[in-house]
Structure 1
Amino acid sequence: PNGTNINNGCGSTHIEGLQKLVKENKLAVGFAYDGDADRCLAVDENGEVVTGDVILYICGKFLKERGLLKNDTVVTTVMSNIGLYKAFDRAGIKYEQTAVGDKYVYANMQANGHCLGGEDSGHIIFSEHAVTGDGILTSLMLCQVMAETGKSLAELRKDLKIYPQLLVNVRVDDKELALNEPSVQQAGKEVEAALADTGRLLLRCSGTEPLVRVMVEAQDDETCNEMVYKVVDAIKASGHAVS
């Protein structure tokens, strides 16, 4: 270690090595953390990645079934997958959405008395135990669910279908003007109408860069690509896109 190579080729941002290790050694689970260990992703016994959305589903359902999920609600961000919300609906779990960032998740939890929230990136907050994401705590909570239910991670996640997602960032001269162009808004409405309840469009400005972010979730990759580029092409045609 030299102070600049934290999680070099490993950890939650390079999880491939852990996937290989778990499969080759027939392990029950593997955990991966980011550099400061406030994020946790897991790998199930089949070598499949267990993202933050999957962790929220597994832990939310476990707590709900035991009467421990306060307000029967899980706090997510706008980037959580539509498949998570559909699974929550089936499980009778309510949810709230915040802006991207675990600080917004916790603010909502604190204001409304919720006990579970997080992001797909692996920031998971269990407010009964901590006020921020804690990778070790998340690992322990997943182990508790597995131990008490007697089920593997693959079994615990089997009723959750994560929809394909495509995100395209378009660099523009003025992100607010580009986002609010009538032609761009119209393209967005047409995409939402076409997707109906089989997917979703998230169209927003970057908080830190001159970008408009176009994200679509749909039942297949082809639809994601078609719908994303319908909006991307509208942004480019508006004259605001820059190379």
Structure 2
Amino acid sequence: MSRTLFGTDGVRGRANSYPMIAEMALKLGAAAGRYFRKDGSNVHRVVIGKDTRLSGYMFETALTAGLTSTGMNVLLLGPVPTPAVGYLTTSMRADVGIMISASHNPHYDNGIKFFGPDGFKLNDEAEAEIEALAMNGVELAMAENIGRARRIDDGRFRYVERAKASFPDNLRLNGLKVVIDCANGAAYKTAPEVLWELGADLVEIGVSPDGLNINRNCGSTDVSTAAAAVVAHGADVGICLDGDADRVMIIDEAGNVADGDQIMALMAARWADEGRLRGGTLVASVMSNLGLERFLAGRGLRLERAPVGDRYVVERMREGGWNLGGEQSGHIVMTDYATTGDGLIAALQFLAAMAETGEPASALSQSFQTVPQLLKNVRFDAGATPLETDTVRAAIADAETRLTGNGRLLIRKSGTEPLIRVMAESEDAALLERVVDSVVEAVEAAV
């Protein structure tokens, strides 16, 4: 069964433009309700969280209408991180969890992500079935079986306690000055609360959402403000989350940035030393740097690669029984603690390493030398298929030939934006630039 609405991370697009319109959200809510309420009883429930986008109000209301119309009872969490929805779906014995967020995208985008009763994101097959129901229509509940909706006021606090429980009981953050950038997003209250309760001295950035400033000049996709704050305040470390707090970037005391690959390298090495890294394996996406693979191999550990998207990383982790994975973009998945990427809990793991070893952030955040990597994006119009043209295929084949033995090439269509991503790795900088530009020029000509 094919999917056209769902991408690599739910349904996503510009708010009030198809498919991210209220009507489609209502249909998706009704479809999800019918999919999960198969026995027709009124004991089924769904939890809904959202980030701080203005359009979240509209989608929250539309989803609630669709879900209750098929007899589902709705529990509204308000603004909470995406991993909180995964956790509370299971904690509150819900049949489905929904997060309204476009993650790291600007405010004018939004998205709808679905979690199953086990707290993990739905697989492609389940999404395809929900999409088919949404497009074809569903049978509504009888009037006496319409669902109810209620606000859950303490969902944020439940997640705060969950996050704190991941931090070693014998450690404190007393004496550490931490810059925390919440991207004016879903963790604008939870992240500072957790860090303050653990003893950190905080400098807070991106904690004043107005519905339009999420991810704007802040967060994990724009760390410049936080990096400057670390240096200006003499902070020990900076933590940059994205709009729904499932990603993180770490900034050391000199303002240098560590991405998801470097964070995973530190965690994998520490967990392996502690006997906690299951199967001696880390799962990462095809975008992760070759330097990470070499670092792990040097320690007798293995890197398992998955398609781009934290959902696919998690699926590979579950298939292999592994407990640590993530993406270069800052998704860090620790199934000992969470069912999806959790930027705050990953940051706590890094802070625990600082507190335990006494090492500065700079000594912990650069575990390996990265292989030069170049990524360029080409935007295309909806419906265009530039990767299927003969000229683009020829350019890709030529680039792969030129990189043989000197690096690797990865071409992919973004699952969240209308972009073709062209990425290559090579220690030959001139070759790297030439092969990427040759493919980009061919794609640009095709679109």
TM-score range normalised by the length of the shorter chain: 0.7 to 0.9
CA contact (8 A) 2:406 2:428 kept: no
* Of 63-72 and 217-226, the range deviating more from structure 2: 217-226
1:131-150 alignment, distance < 5 Å: 131-150=339-358
Task: Name the CA shift for 1:188/1:86 in 2 (closer, same or farther; >3 Å).
Answer: farther
Q: Quote the residue 1:54 is aligned against.
A: 262
**Aligned mates of 2:365, 2:343 — CA distance in 1:** 19
1:80 to partner: Cα distance:
1.2
Q: Does 1:127 align with 2:338?
A: no
Shift, 1:156, TM fit: 2.5
The alignment's TM-score, normalised by the length of structure 2, stands at 0.48
1:134-181 superposed Cα distances (whole Å, 9 cap, x missing partner):
222111101122233332232224441123322233448424522xx3
Matches within 5 A, 1:85-234: 85-170=293-378, 171=380, 173-178=384-389, 181=390, 184-185=392-393, 187-207=395-415, 212-219=420-427, 221-234=429-442
- Change beyond 3 A, Cα 1:4–1:99: same
CA contact (8 A) 2:376 2:436 kept: yes
Q: 1:36 aligns with which of 209, 225, 244?
A: 244
Name the SS for the 2:239 alignment partner: strand
**Residue 74, structure 1, aligned to residue 285, structure 2:** no
SS of alignment partner, residue 31 of structure 1: strand
Secondary structure class of the residue paired with 2:253 = coil
**C-alpha deviation, 1:6, in angstroms:** 2.2
The two structures have a TM-score, normalised by structure 1, of: 0.85
Tell me the distance in 2 between the aligned counterparts of 1:129 and 1:57: 18
Letter in 2 for 1:174: T
- Distance in structure 2 (CA, Å) of the matches to 1:46 and 1:107: 37
Q: Determine the C-alpha separation between the residues in 2 that align with 1:167 and 1:185.
A: 18
Residue matched to 2:220: 12
Q: Structure 1: any 5+ residue segments left out of the alignment?
A: none
Within 2, Cα distance between the matches of 1:79 and 1:93? 19
CA displacement at 1:5 relative to structure 2? 1.7
Count of residue correspondences: 236
- Cα deviation, 1:191-243, whole Å, max 9, x if unaligned, reads 3343344421112334466654321122254332111123334556xx7x02x
Considering only CA atoms, is the larger Rg found in Structure 1 or Structure 2? Answer: 2
- Cα–Cα, structure 1 residues 234 and 15, in superposed 2: closer, same or farther, change >3 Å? closer
Percent of paired sites with the same residue: 41
| SS state at 1:217 partner | strand
Q: Which range moved further: 86-95 or 165-174?
A: 165-174
The alpha-carbon distance between structure 1 residues 25 and 225, as it changes in their structure 2 partners (threshold 3 A), is: same
8 A contact 1:69–1:115 mirrored in 2: yes
Cα separation, 2, equivalents of 1:157 and 1:199: 24
8 Å CA contact retained: 2:265, 2:367: no
Q: Conserved in 2, the CA contact under 8 Å of 1:7 and 1:35?
A: yes
Q: In 2, are the aligned partners of 1:175 and 1:211 still within 8 Å (CA)?
A: no
Contact 1:76–1:117 (CA under 8 A) maintained in structure 2: yes
Report the Cα distance in structure 2 between the residues aligned to 1:208 and 1:10, rounded to whole angstroms: 20
The structure-2 alpha-carbon separation of the partners of 1:82 and 1:110, relative to structure 1 and needing over 3 Å to count, comes to same
CA contact (8 A) 2:258 2:366 kept: no
Structure 1 residues 185 and 174: CA distance shift in structure 2, 3 A: closer
Once superposed, what is the RMSD of the aligned Cα atoms?
2.4
Q: Is the 8 A contact 1:175 1:205 kept in 2?
A: no
Post-superposition offset of 1:33: 0.9
2: CA distance, partners of 1:28 / 1:73: 30
| Contact preservation (8 Å) 1:174, 1:210 | no
1:8 and 1:230 map into 2 onto residues whose CA distance is 32
Which stretch shows the higher mean deviation, 156-165 or 26-35? 156-165
SS of the equivalent of 1:91 reads coil
CA contact (8 A) 2:422 2:436 kept: yes
